[in-house]
Amino acid sequence: MNTLVWVLLGIAIYWLGVLVLDSQGLLPSYVGTQGPILTIHTQRGKQFLEWLAGPKRFWRAWGNFGLGVAIVVMVGSFLLLLVQAIAVVQNPPPATAATQPRNVLVIPGVNQFLPLSVAPEILFGLLVGLVVHEGGHGLMCRVEDIEIQSMGVAALAILPVGAFVEPDEESRADADRGGQSRMFAAGVTNNFAVTLLAFALLFGPVVGSIAVAPGAAVGGVLPGSAADDAGLSAGDRIVAVDGNPVESNEDLDASLSKAEGRSVEVTLAGGETLTIDRSLLVTAIYPDSPFAAGDGGDRASLGKGETVVAVNGTPVSTEAEFHRAVGDRVLVTVETESGESITGPVGALASVRPDRAAAAAGMPTEGSVVVTSVGGERVRNASEFSAALDGYAPGDTVTIEAWVNGSVESYDVTLGGEDGDAMLGVYVMQGTTGVSVNGFGVQLYPAGQFLDLLGGEFGRFVGGVGGPIVSFLSGALGVLMLPFASVSLGATYNFAGFVEWNAGFYTAAGGPLSFLGEWGLFVLANVLFWTGWVNLNLGFFNCIPAFPLDGGHILRTSTEAVISRLPTSQGRQLTTMVTTTIGLVMLVSLLVMVFGPQLLSG
């Protein structure tokens, strides 16, 4: 059984025990039950809130500021959820890991993007979020002279899932609408304030004291590759190749390209040396590639996971040897370790876009073509195609040669484009004729890019932003997406913090907090990361204008304030209609976003 089943089974057993205790009258009077949720009530803390609410003018100013922020976020949440739900209905996304309902839950181990290794930090952030949220409601209750009936926490089994402040309903009804609105907005205001503080510390002294460790960070090893056969594994850090130092991920490719022969020695950060016998593993192949397509099953084809051993009879074990063996030939024969021979053209696999430059020059828009030269310059893969096209400007006429229907055809294309970038009007697939090969077999972990994002530099990745406030907000957005980086940022890996397997890619160096050492810095960074992340999500979620969320209460008081100025005797009915309609729209939008991809994509 998977983790979710075990969790649900445990909750069911726990709740059965609670029901038995409740039926026997064995639960204390301060413990209540609401469905599967256990509520623990207390009167403690009222005197502290009374004392803290002393400077009422200050707290009302803070409440007015928070109310303005909450209303802006409410409107944004409404529009975002509505637009996203419409997009899901009109163009259902494929059912992927990101669209699984289980990944909506912020439960480490159940949500596959939130590993169990950072569960303590996530729970700490949740605890902080719940305390400041409900504490804000309680504080503003006393500022607005609203009596508090009780306070407490709500738990699902041992997991705290909420906290609450129960205002006295008669006392709340006697308060003016402004006071009630400030009280309801206080929770999300405090969540956003905690987010601001946590990210300010994270972006500043904490990340400023962390550096990327020298070497190439091995994020993963391709199954069946040379690195896999030699015993390399995720979390290893390569610091030398054949005795030559490797300082970064970029250095590894350069060092491997310089290494002569099939075998190379790599030195790991711990001092261990491994000998890797390189071999060309097919890591990806597009279905439209001539090397993948057979003639009705009569011809052999390449497949992912196969090993290429020769090109035109010349043994190859690296990408460089592969390119040298191809040379300027258009048609080559590739031999695999299993003894198969496949013949096909070598170039950049592309599909021609209708109504664009290439199509206007007569290149076929049905199926795929293999571009073999641009302006007389031989291209053997997608990278060489892009480099060759960079030498031209929009409006230039260039001769394109391409393998089409079994022969090389020539086309004179007048390039399109804008902003100085020449466009041929084709979609180009990665690799050589849509085939990607790897002679070493590791996937590198983008440690430097993640550290930059963790330091609030998301704006640099989206074209640059101006001003400290905009830069900070863009940095917060970047941190919000890091746990889902493989989906939101197109990265190979997700970043959930400094955990056991990736902590070796970083070191404490040079900053004001480097005296804490790696362990202390990484724990502090994880706590700040998840505290800010959880509080930001709590704030946004509670601003959704639907009951029983804070946004729903603010919507009601705001609607009442507007309708009370209208010449109508049915103000209460109009208020109920508006709030119910918006609440139902939000509920349906959430359900469509969570379950729509699973139900509609099929």
Question: Could you give the domains of the chain?
Answer: 36-204+525-600 (no CATH), 223-278 (2.30.42.10), 348-428 (2.30.42.10)
Residue 50: its H or E element: helix 46-52
Show Cβ contacts of residue 80 under 8 Å, excluding neighbours closer than 6 positions. none
Closest CA to 252 of 231, 270, 278: 278
Weakest-pLDDT range from 32-41, 64-73, 161-170, 184-193: 32-41
pLDDT, residue 465, reads 52
Contact indicator for 356, 423 with CB cutoff of 8 Å:
yes
110-130: average pLDDT: 84
Query: What six digits make up the tokens of 59?
Result: 């707290």
Q: How far is C-alpha 244 from the chain's CA centre? A: 35
Best mean pLDDT range from 28-37, 162-171, 263-272 = 263-272
Contact indicator for 437, 283 with CB cutoff of 8 Å:
yes
425-430: average pLDDT: 92
Coil, strand, or helix at residue 302? Answer: coil
Closest CA to 316 of 330, 337, 299, 302: 337
Contact indicator for 489, 481 with CB cutoff of 8 Å:
yes
pLDDT, residue 8, reads 72
Amino acid letter for position 379: V
Please, which contacts does 332-341 make with residues 24 or more away whose CB atoms are closer than 8 Å? 334/291, 334/302, 334/308, 334/310, 335/308, 335/309, 335/310, 335/311, 336/302, 336/306, 336/307, 336/308, 336/309, 337/279, 337/306, 337/307, 337/308, 337/309, 338/306, 340/300, 340/306, 341/300
Tell me the residue length of the chain: 602
DSSP state of 368: -
Contact indicator for 554, 185 with CB cutoff of 8 Å:
yes
Residue 95 has pLDDT above 70, yes or no: no
Amino acid letter for position 218: V
Closest CA to 347 of 285, 284, 428, 282: 428
Query: What six digits make up the tokens of 147?
Result: 């009596």
If you compute the radius of gyration of the chain from its CA atoms, what whole number of angstroms results?
30
Alpha helices in 482-570 (DSSP H): 485-488, 517-542, 550-563
Alpha helices in 369-462 (DSSP H): 382-389, 447-454, 458-461
Coil, strand, or helix at residue 430? Answer: coil
Residues of the chain with pLDDT > 70, as a percent, come to 91
Query: What six digits make up the tokens of 154?
Result: 């709500």
Coil, strand, or helix at residue 269? Answer: coil
Rounded Cα–Cα distance for residues 434 and 288 (Å): 8
| pLDDT tens string 227-285 | 999 999 999 999 999 999 999 999 998 899 888 888 999 999 989 999 999 999 999 99
pLDDT, residue 348, reads 94
> What is the average pLDDT value for the chain, to the nearest integer?
86
Residue that is written with structure tokens 């190859």 in the block: 316
Closest CA to 496 of 522, 462, 460, 457: 522
Residues of the chain with pLDDT > 90, as a percent, come to 42
Q: C-alpha distances in angstroms, 393 versus 422, 424, 506?
A: 5, 11, 42
Closest CA to 195 of 534, 596, 585: 534
pLDDT, residue 40, reads 77
9-26: average pLDDT: 78
- How many other CB atoms are found less than 10 A from the CB of residue 424? 25
pLDDT, residue 91, reads 82
Weakest-pLDDT range from 141-145, 233-237, 571-575: 571-575
Coil, strand, or helix at residue 95? Answer: coil
27-53: average pLDDT: 76
pLDDT, residue 526, reads 93
Q: How far is C-alpha 299 from the chain's CA centre? A: 41
pLDDT, residue 398, reads 94
DSSP state of 353: P
559-572: average pLDDT: 83
Residue 461 has pLDDT above 60, yes or no: no
Assess whether the previous peptide bond of 468 is cis (omega < 30° from 0). Answer: no
Residue 463 has pLDDT above 60, yes or no: no
- How many other CB atoms are found less than 10 A from the CB of residue 32? 16
Rounded Cα–Cα distance for residues 30 and 17 (Å): 18
